[in-house]
Amino acid sequence: MNVLEVENLVKEYRIPGQPPIRVLDGVTFAVAEGEHVAVTGRSGAGKTTLLNILGGLDRPTSGTVRCTKNVGFVFQSFRLMPELTVLENVILPSMAGVKTARVPRATEKARELLAKVGLSDRADHLPAELSGGEQQRVALARALMCEPEVIFADEPTGNLDAMTGAEILKLLFGFGGKPFALVMVTHSAEAAAQCDRTLHLEGGRFA
């Protein structure tokens, strides 16, 4: 069963007085339940634009995206809320549109996820008190908070050294519990090799 289906996706940027710049030009593909897909391509090829559209963070010019309800995001720059503790950052996705009565269970689950990524002792720290690798582990725990069917990862090792990046990939690909599909934008050949297949974006299409 497919958890993500993309058909004829087009994205254009318009500057007054100039022809539109087409970044995505009819992208079509699907991702099956539990499948791990790497998206590669040169810088500026539209990889992050594609990922943002897939995750609902941006709108396409045309085309369709059909995705399961729950998704998670792991960003290259972590995107943690600096004023919240590590625990609060992980809980945050579960707070949208839910009743306060569910918070105790959310706290319990967030602590379980932090334990799985090895950060139980950092739960009350602020992001600024963590290393880059620790912040990305928090981001991974946050992405898993709502038990997503799909995780979108934008260069999850891009801001990390090789050893720390390898640790993040080990967590990402070896995380226990409910299996999830993964769409990962990466420049890393090592990261792409761990996926089930690789799609190369070139000229607005998959080559």
> Splitting the chain (207 residues) into consecutive groups of 10 residues, what average pLDDT does each group show?
96 92 96 96 94 94 92 93 97 74 78 95 97 95 93 93 92 83 94 96 93
Rg from Cα positions in the chain: 17
Which amino acid, 43? S
The predicted structure's pLDDT at residue 96: 74
Backbone angles phi, psi at 81, to 5 degrees: -75, 115
CB 140 within 8 A of CB 174: no
Give 98-163 as a DSSP string: --GGGHHHHHHHHHHHHHHTT-GGGTTS-GGGS-HHHHHHHHHHHHTTT--SEEEEESTTTTS-HH
Domains of the chain, start order: 1-68+180-207 (3.40.50.300)
Q: What is the DSSP letter of 4?
A: E
Residue type, 191: A
pLDDT in the model for residue 179: 86
Among candidates 134, 85, 142, which has minimal Cα distance to 113? 142
The amino acid at 68: T
CB atoms within 10 A of CB 159: 16
What is residue 102's predicted lDDT score, i.e. its pLDDT?
A: 56
List residues bridging with 32 in a β-sheet.
2
Which helix (H) or strand (E) is 67 found in, with range?
Answer: strand 62-67
Q: What is the pTM of this model?
A: 0.91
